[in-house]
Copies of this chain bind each other. A is one copy, B any other.
């Protein structure tokens, strides 16, 4: 059914072939033919890429600009995006980039009662996986203290890029007891609602949770807004690989941090300047120590698999993720209780090389 389309994609270099177990597929590395980047094309099925959601950096004016009527407010979880779908009798999880993820696919039965696919084989569940046992996420997450959890936030209709209206999604979530993000209810652009929205954001901020997504009712526009403490957390985590990250990443977060604190009336409190400094400095102190001791900066990961062969597929998969080639060191694979544990290290080459060079006393011309 999509054979010709697949040939076209490959000929025009808009996608590349992926493989998981005995399954081959095409993942779009660029949007093509109306399908967004990250879409997955099988011979008989297309799973659309997850659309980008625009961010507002200014809450009140942002909500006013984006929504003329009612909108839902729902928690945004800091993890990695998966699309969970059914194909020829098996459940798969795809990451944002369109890879079928051996880790998420292996563990999905731990995270979700997959009965929903018996009744609705054509739905695509979209969620966030997070936790210290994730192979992609660095740094702590306040919602999960060990291993990983899944938080569903959208359900798409089969191959289309169309999401179910919120109420219908809530119904399915409740009927199948799906693990989902927290929904804070329906709001409008009026003073009492804005006060309530800010109150919720303040409590998310205080718990170091990431932020929220606002979604038009019954469906349509959507936008994200994150807390200052989530920006801080990003800075603290990413400053450990400060020279392997686009410097704009930090500048954006610094400005957003100030905007959030200003808009939520926290700007006159007295320890948040120190917290910004600390976020940078703790990470950099740490990485300097590591570079001095080990000659490199790196991060340790430990994740559990149900099946050994999926751990092996995952090791292979890591080599294909942009920016991961050559920078992953596999440390150990061993059995613990009923799981296989994979331990690996990601190294940060620019941070390691540059800081080692600076510490050696080299001259720099800038």
Query: Which residues of A approach B to under 8 Å, CB–CB?
Result: 52, 54-58, 60-66, 223, 239, 242-243, 246-248, 250-252, 254-255, 258-259, 262, 267, 272-278, 280-281, 284-285, 288, 355, 358-366
Contacts and interface: CB of A to CB of B under 8 A. Distances in A.
Question: Which of A278, A355, A360 has the most chain B CB atoms inside 10 A of its CB?
Answer: A360
A43 to B, nearest CB: 32
Contacts of A366: 55, 252
A261 to B, nearest CB: 9
Given A55-B365, A361-B56, A280 B259 contact: no
14 contacts: A52-B365, A55-B364, A55-B365, A57-B359, A57-B364, A58-B360, A242-B254, A246-B247, A250-B250, A255-B284, A259-B358, A273-B278, A274-B274, A276-B277
A184 B99 CA distance: 61
Contact of A54 (B54, B267, B359, B364): B364
B251 A360 contact: no
A169 B258 CA distance: 49
A281 B276 contact: yes
A312 B52 CA distance: 51
Contacts of A274: 273-274, 277
A295 to B, nearest CB: 15
Contacts of A288: 258-259, 262
Given A251-B243, A258-B288, A259-B288, A62 B273 contact: no
Shortest beta-carbon contacts, A-B, top 8: A54-B363, A61-B361, A247-B247, A273-B277, A276-B277, A65-B361, A277-B277, A274-B274
Contacts of A62: 361-363
Contact of A247 (B54, B60, B66, B248): B248
B242 A61 contact: no
B360 A65 contact: yes
A359 B61 contact: yes
Contacts of A250: 247, 250-251
Question: Which of A57, A247, A366 has the most chain B CB atoms inside 10 A of its CB?
Answer: A57
B58 A361 contact: yes
Contacts of A364: 54-57
B267 A285 contact: yes
Question: Which of A56, A248, A255 has the most chain B CB atoms inside 10 A of its CB?
Answer: A255
Contacts of A267: 285
A335 B365 CA distance: 42
Nearest to A292: B262
